[in-house]
Amino acid sequence: MFETWNDNLKIGVAKIDQQHQKLFNKVGTLLEKCTEQNELRQRSTIEELIDFLIDYFSKHFADEEKIQRIINYPNYEHHKEIHNNFKEKLVAIKKDFVEKNKTLKIIISLNHEILKLFSQHIKEEDKNIGDYITLIKNEQWQQMEEMISDIQTKK
Ligand SMILES: [Fe+2]
């Protein structure tokens, strides 16, 4: 069995959470398609799904990086590097599947690896983005609270 979308994967930023959920579901569909019978019919569907993932992951990472630039996220460069490695892995899977004609068994295990890596990435890296946003909010609120308490003492 593989991990499906669950609340532990939410980072608290709606736009990112929605995209993560969509990606999780698509990787799940891909894994299901890989394990279905009738190999000939599947290969084109699987290729389409891999193409979708390459495209959507790339869009998602770009959005996530945009959000990080907006909030001046301190770990931006490192995070971007992880995204790039991830994209390269997906392209390698596609290449293996199409050019080297790798068996579905190998593709399935690679996809499991992708899903595991993605889940780890969300829990270990992307969650820090959510935490950083909370930190900014708290700091802003603290400043406001100080201003508010200043008004009170002037009275
Ligand atoms: Fe990320």
Q: Is residue 154 a contact partner of residue 92, using CB atoms and an 8 Å limit?
A: no
* Nearest residue to 105 via CA among 49, 42, 55: 42
Distance 45 CA to ligand 1 centre (A): 27
Q: How far apart are the CA of 145 and the centre of ligand 1, in A?
A: 33
> How far does the centroid of ligand 1 lie from the alpha carbon of residue 31, in Å?
22
Cα(5) to centroid of ligand 1, in Å? 16
Q: Determine the distance separating the centroid of ligand 1 and the alpha carbon of 51, expressed in angstroms.
A: 20
> Which pLDDT belongs to residue 38?
64
- What is the whole-number distance in angstroms between the Cα of residue 92 and the centre of ligand 1? 19
Tell me how far the alpha carbon of residue 60 lies from the centroid of ligand 1, in angstroms. Answer: 9
Instruction: Map out the domains of the chain with their CATH numbers.
Output: 14-153 (1.20.120.50)
Count CB neighbours of 10 within 10 A: 17
Residues in the chain with pLDDT < 50?
none
| CA 55 / ligand 1 centre spacing (Å) | 15
pLDDT computed for residue 104 by the predictor = 76
Output the pLDDT for position 28.
87
pLDDT for 75: 93
- What is the pTM (predicted TM-score) of this model? 0.84
pLDDT of residue 105: 78
Exposed, middle or buried: residue 6 (CB in 10 Å: 0-12, 13-18, 19+)?
A: exposed
Q: How far is the centre of ligand 1, averaged over its atoms, from the C-alpha of 135 (Å)?
A: 18
Predicted pLDDT of residue 155: 60
Centre of ligand 1 from the C-alpha of residue 16, in Å: 9
Residue 60: closest CA among 45, 79, 33: 79
Q: Ligand 1: distance of its center to the CA of 132 in Å?
A: 13
